[in-house]
Amino acid sequence: MKKNLLMLTSTILLIFLIPFIGAFSFNLLNGNPNPETSPKELSGNLSVSDKTLKIYNCSTQSTMEMNFEEYIVGVLTGEMPASYELEALKAQAVAARSYILSRMEYYNTNGTAAEHHGCDICTNSQHCKAWLSVEEANQKWGSDWSEKYLDKLKRAVNETKGEYMTYENQTVKAFFFSSSNGKTENAEDVWGGSYPYLKSVSSEGDISSPDNESSAEFSKDDFIQKLKSKFSDIEITPLLKDMIGDTVKTDGGNVKTIRIGGKDFKGTEIRSLFSLRSAAFTISVSDDNEAVVFNVSGYGHGVGMSQYGANFMAKQGKTYKEILSHYYSGVTISNFSK
């Protein structure tokens, strides 16, 4: 279901999670002559307004220019099923704005990314956030997609115009993902960086997702080969089940560490080695000792807002602000267009 959040590499995330350092004076959008929409200063002395953003389109390898709100419509298109409830889409719009702003602030402070080819942001979901044009969406989901959904996405963006989240006057790094195992994760358990607003909370709606459970099977040789790519001296026993030892879980219920073949693997390492949908998994060995099966719950890294959970809350009548304050503890909704 969630198309694009899954494969952010840990390297990129680690770089991104390094706290912002110092201030960097740079007016991103080159001033604004209209006093009514004069740019609001964000942390890192980044200014943003309705002026044009430069976006590097990774699929066409070209530069696009559009205003921030128009860009967010394309991010919503790429990042959340348009069939989701309006309040969930509004929560996603605010989360996407916050995430993108925090990313732009990071590059403002630390220098531009080569991936951006001189632009403010890019459309690579593994680097920034996915973005799809109306034409691409119609191609992907059928020619009537825009007729059915475009007005709804625009409404979600317009009704939250300029809104983003802050915590103690800092822009919130609003991570989000598809669905959890029933609880979200502490950021520090997944990437090491701790944020007061990225803490484990319940997300019980996720377990009702038809997509929630998945499995992945590997042959004995494949299993051992992948483990050896991390620890070449791993201890291999005649019965595979004897290699699999104790699991330590995170507050959110993902695998924090698991002992296999006498080595301690992080749950996130196993997720990456075996391309699992999440780090909430159990391992079983076939009776003939020839195959290993991972049973996995949830989809994504588990930090921040669960999109499926947001939709579940919206269906129960919660507003986008209630959804956001549930998944991002203690945040304030700010607005850069006022």
Which spans of this chain sit near Zn ion (rule: CB under 5 A)? 115, 122, 127-128
Tell the smallest beta-carbon distance from residue 12 to Zn ion (Å).
9
Residue whose CB is less far from Zn ion, 128 or 285: 128
Per-state percent for the chain, helix, strand, coil, to nearest 5: 35, 25, 40
Closer of 8 and 270 to Zn ion (Cβ): 8
**Are residues 8 and 27 in contact, defined by beta-carbon separation less than 8 angstroms?**
no
**Among residues 76 and 255, whose Cβ is nearest to Zn ion?**
76
CB of 128 to Zn ion, least distance (A): 3
Strand partners, 294: 216, 283
Q: Which is nearer to Zn ion, 99 or 191 (CB)?
A: 99
Considering the complex, what minimum distance in angstroms separates the CB of residue 66 from Zn ion? Answer: 16
d(CA 252, CA 304) in angstroms, rounded, equals 11
- DSSP letters, 177-214, are ESB-SSB-B-HHHHTS---TTS---B-GGGGG-TTSEE
**Residue 123 beta carbon to Zn ion: minimum distance, rounded to whole angstroms:** 8
| Residue whose CB is less far from Zn ion, 115 or 251 | 115
Question: 75 or 91, CB closer to Zn ion?
Answer: 75
Angle between the N-to-C axes of helices 320-327 and 307-315, in degrees from 0 to 180, rounded to the nearest 10? 140
CB of 165 to Zn ion, least distance (A): 20
The three-point CA angle 255-256-259 to 5° equals 85
Token pair in block for residue 149: 């959904």
Residue in 308, 257, 315, 307 with CA at minimum distance from that of residue 281: 257
Shortest gap between Cβ of 277 and Zn ion (angstroms)?
23
